Structure 1
Amino acid sequence: MSCTDTLFDEMEVYYRTLDERPDIGWFLQGHIVVEYMLRKRLVDITGSASKKLEKSGFYKVLLEAEKHDVVNKDQKNVLEKINGIRNRYAHELDYTPQLSEWLDIWRSAKAAFCDMTDGIEQGLAELESVDKLEDADRFHLNELFVQICHDLLPNEA
């Protein structure tokens, strides 16, 4: 196989990712917003941004958030699952999540987070109504991150 053939194969994976993967964009956006919210809450609690955390990845920020009671153990577990999918997207360009993986996340999230507007419930119902992940309505699935971010807001006394 020539270098050109190898490059062509790699570019095919890239183009398949762009053309056939609408799930990547909203999922990564949701992950980014959750990480932002965790960092913001840690700054609110500690009074300043930790130099150590500025360069840290999601997992270390999540550990710090659990340490400062921003998230509880069940919420941390859900966010670890979300981060696992994000990592697979980042490191396996041809990764396609399975419906069972997302069902696991939504079911775990339903038990761990408040579902103020029933967004997690609606997303779970959407996932349970389809046979293939690509048939699910993205709007309902995106609500998972909205509900998680609601729980990351500071409690007002």
Structure 2
Amino acid sequence: MENSKKISSPLELFGRAVDPSNFISTYILGHLWIERLLFHIIKIKTGKSERAIERLTHAKLIDLIDSLNILEPLQLKTLRKINQTRNKLAHDISYDFSITEFRSLVHLAQSAFSDMTDGFEQTLDELEGKANLNEVSDFVYPEIFMQIAYDLEAVYVELGGKIDSFK
């Protein structure tokens, strides 16, 4: 992989896996947040059982949302890109998501989703002048997911879901 680096020792592997400030853990949790919202949007829209929906991969959830014409094409593109990146992060411990890739993803999300609390803008401001994600304040890591979640929650409510409940 182009921006992967080799992990040269078990100690280096351990350090990467347990780093509490690691971008990876926030990204994977954000991905799960989006997945849960997609799950409930599909459940309320289709009436499918939870068991049937739980069998779907994240990519299949996005495909089903696409087939139901619930989201705009640019939103779907953003969700697919987030999922592709999550797969790289989850399956290659040496993969380093570059600040350029993150900036590009934030721009894509900004063009597709509302910026309810200026989270995209704050993230882009924080990325300015930084060479890698280790230099970035970790407060911006969840912002991309938060802004997307606002729009997905709005879709859920428009479909008849309750803002404060998945029941």
TM-score by length of structure 2 reads: 0.80
Distance in 1 between residues matched to 2:72 and 2:13, nearest whole Å: 38
Conserved 8 A contact 1:126-1:141:
no
Distance of 2:49 and 2:147 partners within structure 1: 25
Contact 2:21 2:138 in 1 (8 A): no
Partner residue, 2:56: 56
Taking a change above 3 Å as real, the CA distance of residues 119 and 43 of structure 1, as seen in their structure-2 partners, is same
Greater mean deviation of Cα atoms: 57-66 or 14-23? 14-23
Q: After the TM superposition, which residues 2-151 of structure 1 pair with which residues of structure 2 at under 5 Å, given as runs?
A: 9-10=9-10, 12-19=12-19, 22-49=22-49, 51-151=51-151
8 Å CA contact 2:89–2:95 kept in 1: the answer is yes
* 1:5 paired residue number: none
CA root-mean-square deviation: 2.2
- Residue 73 of structure 1 aligns with an amino acid whose one-letter code is P
C-alpha contact (below 8 Å) 2:75/2:109 kept by paired residues: yes
TM-score (norm 1): 0.85
- Cα deviation, residue 20, structure 1: 7.7
Can you give the 5+ residue segments of structure 1 that lack an aligned partner in the other structure? 1-7
Higher RCO by CA contacts (8 Å cutoff, separation 6 or greater): 2
Specify the code of the residue in structure 1 equivalent to 2:114: C
Instruction: Count matched residues.
Output: 150
Letter in 1 for 2:29: Q
> When you count helix as a share of all residues, which structure comes out higher?
1
